[in-house]
Amino acid sequence: MNLAERISTLRRVNGLSARQLAALVDVAPTTVTRIEAGQVSPSFDLAQEILAVLGEPIGFTGTADLSAIATARLALDPKLGIAASPGVEAWRQRWARIGLIDESGQVVAGKEAGLLFRAGRAARLTRRPGAVDFKAGPTAYDIAEALGAAGIEYAATGDAGANLYRSSAGETWPVLYVEDTARASDAAGLDHKETGSFGMRVTLIPFDGVSELGRTAIDGITVAARDQVVIDAYGGIDRMAEQADILVGRRVA
């Protein structure tokens, strides 16, 4: 897939019109249209900006943009202890241009689902800084029990977290935020996944000062805040986006 096709496909997957995408990256709508038609090649910086907004930065080795998560979480709960960094301000400007966030940085009424979806696309679970993959086997609840017994702080997220808030589907990928990935993997008896291998996995993500904020306990399991779970489910794989839709009240076909 060439760059023009990639941008066009990702724009449609994100549910954006050419005009909305243009507003996000501060170019004329005709520029987006001409890029997608292959009539003009964007500069590297513009291509990077477009793909970052669509949740697919150039190349697949870059890390997820945590500023997008911080911006969305602050827009929904301004009382969270998250600093308004330059990255946050940049995302506020992008999302304000398409009517997701108002001038004060808070979410526009009725736009919560769209905001969380875009934050999830910009911060995919597979690209979180410091994330470590382990061989599949134990469920998120098995791991949570082991971590709780060892006194290690954690927060379940993704489809496991979504099921705790509202049972909707089986778990496909156990993902947990932890205070220390090495201690957590030892406590849960996890085996490292071979580098470059594909397939099912368990993923531990270190606390980052944003994603673990607002943890709560449900049925004896510590789970990430509902908004964070939705972001992570949108940034996950398989049917996780459908579980996010259920949590935010979107209609699922």
- Domain range list for the chain: 3-53, 127-248
Q: For residue range 48-78, what is the model confidence (pLDDT) as tens digits?
A: 888 877 766 554 445 788 999 999 999 999 9
Class of domain 127-248: alpha beta
Q: In 3D, which of 109, 116, 64 has the Cα closest to residue 245?
A: 116
In the chain, which stretches have pLDDT less than 50?
Answer: 59-61, 196-197, 252-253
pLDDT attached to residue 242? 87
- CATH homologous superfamily of domain 3-53? lambda repressor-like DNA-binding domains (1.10.260.40)
d(CA 75, CA 70): 8
pLDDT attached to residue 194? 61
Output phi, psi for 15, to 5 deg. Answer: 70, 30
pLDDT attached to residue 197? 47
Q: For residue range 8-57, what is the model confidence (pLDDT) as tens digits?
A: 988 887 778 898 888 888 889 999 999 999 999 998 878 888 887 776 65
In CATH terms, are 3-53 and 127-248 the same topology? no
pLDDT attached to residue 253? 42
d(CA 7, CA 94): 17
